[in-house]
Amino acid sequence: MKILVTGGAGYIGSHTAVELLDSGHEIVVVDNYINSSPKVLDRVRELTGKDFESFECDIRDKKKLTEIFQKTKPDAVIHFAGLKSVGESVMKPLEYYDNNIYGTVVLLEVMRACGVKKIVFSSSATVYGGGNVPPLREDMPVGGTTNPYGTTKLHIEKILSDLYVADNLFSIVILRYFNPIGAHDSGRIGEAPNGLPNNLMPYITQVACGKLECLRVFGDDYPTPDGTCIRDYIHVVDLAKGHLAALNGCADKPGVHIFNLGTGVGYSVFDVINAFEKANGLKINYVVTGRRDGDLPVCYADATKANEVLGWRAERGIENMCLTSWNWQSKNPNGYDD
Ligand code: NAD
Ligand code: UDP
């Protein structure tokens, strides 16, 4: 299949690009590099030994995007492009609604006009809000998001469902990611946050390499065994493979197919720090501070649906997530800027 990958130079997109190319698919990457660099794509080419077309294009640029679709004629789209920082979305809600929601609407309009009716969309566990008791199942109610970023994912899921009602030739796969961490085994691609990391693992790796002094653990008074929040961390390569399974399993099945991509196992913040120290033989300097606004105490997936329907399940454990995160960070202390 020929797959157009929006946001293909990003963290998850680049790992998925490698898996797609390694499996014999053709890809076309569309990215405006607002949170990435074209250098990432050179590394994808180097890792796979395969070339592909890539276009610097904002998905909101309908004219340019249409030309790309007309020129490259993809069979399907995997849609990663979007802004993803929870904190930034609170400060810049309009930018988030514009980029994520309007951008997706433009993409869908172009797909419809060009007769491309297969899409895999990057959603998030955040759509479950705080009203459900984990493990979170796909049929549980969604809503009650606590920030504009999460609300964009919720709205996009609804837009995709509405689109299917209007045109039931669309095959729509919504993947709700839990917490992706880790990096490709080569250490050539990985997560390269701009400025101060928001997420736990990149913060830990930057403390480990001395770029940051001390990790702040946001609260140890939650109702969990060690008092810190519990999350379902999933290796980014497993997550990338989940996209292939979704394409193989659902691309030819019109409908709206929703899957959690998680491991089904929850780890606390202290568990992750301990696992990182053990896997890499390093000490992480940390201090416990107050809670971070909006954090849920416990969030992990019921991952059985993806296993039963797609035959996919996460294979890598927390040790490998910690090893590959550090392998990437230690080999690329400045991300792709070297
Ligand atoms: P990322 O920022 O590394 O990748 C997103 C890519 O999209 C970047 O390369 C960026 O330059 C590009 N982009 C952004 N807006 C664009 C636009 N208007 N036009 C073209 N390109 C644009 O993020 P990621 O971690 O790889 O996440 C990929 C997707 O998965 C996002 O939609 C994100 O919301 C979602 N997601 C991520 C996580 C996570 O923890 N990383 C969790 C759940 C869901
Ligand atoms: N966390 C932390 N310190 C940090 C970043 C995150 O203690 O510098 C905690 C956060 O409170 C949450 C967990 O680590 O319990 C995962 O946070 P992250 O931002 O990586 O993902 P989220 O689940 O919020 O999307």
182 pLDDT more than 80: yes
Share of the chain above pLDDT 70, in %: 100
The pLDDT of residue 207 is 98
Regarding the beta carbon of 224 and ligand 2, being less than 6 Å apart is answered no
Side-chain half-sphere exposure of 252, counting CA atoms within 13 A: 3
Q: How far is the CA of 223 from the centre of ligand 2 (A)?
A: 16
The pLDDT of residue 155 is 98
pLDDT in tens, 46-56: 999 999 999 99
Mean pLDDT score of the chain? 97
pLDDT in tens, 139-152: 999 999 999 999 99
135 conformational bin, left if phi > 0, alpha if psi -120 to 50, beta if neither? beta
- Which atom of ligand 1 lies nearest, measured to the CA of 123? 44
Q: Which of 149, 293, 295 maximizes ligand 2 atoms within 8 Å of its Cβ, making it the mutation to test the pocket?
A: 295
Regarding the beta carbon of 292 and ligand 2, being less than 6 Å apart is answered yes
Residue nearest to atom 14 of ligand 2 (CA): 200
338 pLDDT more than 80: no
Residue 300: closest CA among 121, 142, 133:
133
pLDDT in tens, 2-37: 999 999 999 999 999 999 999 999 999 999 999 999
136 conformational bin, left if phi > 0, alpha if psi -120 to 50, beta if neither? beta
Q: What integer is the mean pLDDT of 166-187?
A: 98
The pLDDT of residue 254 is 98
The pLDDT of residue 131 is 94
Q: How far is the CA of 98 from the centre of ligand 1 (A)?
A: 14
Q: Strands 179-181 and 233-235: what pairing?
A: parallel
CA distance 101 to 103: 5
The pLDDT of residue 308 is 98
Maximum distance among all alpha carbons in the chain? 56
96 in helix, strand or coil?
Answer: helix
Q: What integer is the mean pLDDT of 186-210?
A: 96
Share of the chain above pLDDT 90, in %: 98
- Which atom of ligand 2 lies nearest, measured to the CA of 296? 15
Q: Strands 267-268 and 230-231: what pairing?
A: antiparallel
Q: How far is the CA of 9 from the centre of ligand 1 (A)?
A: 9
Has 97 been annotated as catalytic?
Answer: no
Q: What integer is the mean pLDDT of 253-275?
A: 98
The pLDDT of residue 36 is 97
CA distance 292 to 205: 20
Residue nearest to atom 3 of ligand 2 (CA): 217
Name the least confident of 191-195, 230-234, 298-302, 317-321: 191-195
Regarding the beta carbon of 199 and ligand 2, being less than 6 Å apart is answered yes
The pLDDT of residue 67 is 98
Q: What integer is the mean pLDDT of 98-118?
A: 98
- Which atom of ligand 1 lies nearest, measured to the CA of 191? 3
The pLDDT of residue 208 is 98
State the pLDDT confidence band at 238, using cuts at 50, 70 and 90: very high
The pLDDT of residue 240 is 99
Q: What integer is the mean pLDDT of 276-301?
A: 97
Q: Which long-range contacts (CB under 8 A, 24 or more apart) does 211-215 make?
A: 211/333, 213/285, 214/285, 214/286, 214/287, 215/273, 215/284, 215/285, 215/286, 215/287
* Beta pairing partners, 268: 230
Q: What integer is the mean pLDDT of 258-286?
A: 98
Identify the helix (H) or strand (E) that includes residue 6: strand 2-6
Q: Which of 199, 205, 213, 272 maximizes ligand 2 atoms within 8 Å of its Cβ, making it the mutation to test the pocket?
A: 199
Regarding the beta carbon of 295 and ligand 2, being less than 6 Å apart is answered yes
Which listed residue (96, 149, 233, 267) is catalytic?
149
Residue 315: closest CA among 241, 230, 245, 247:
241
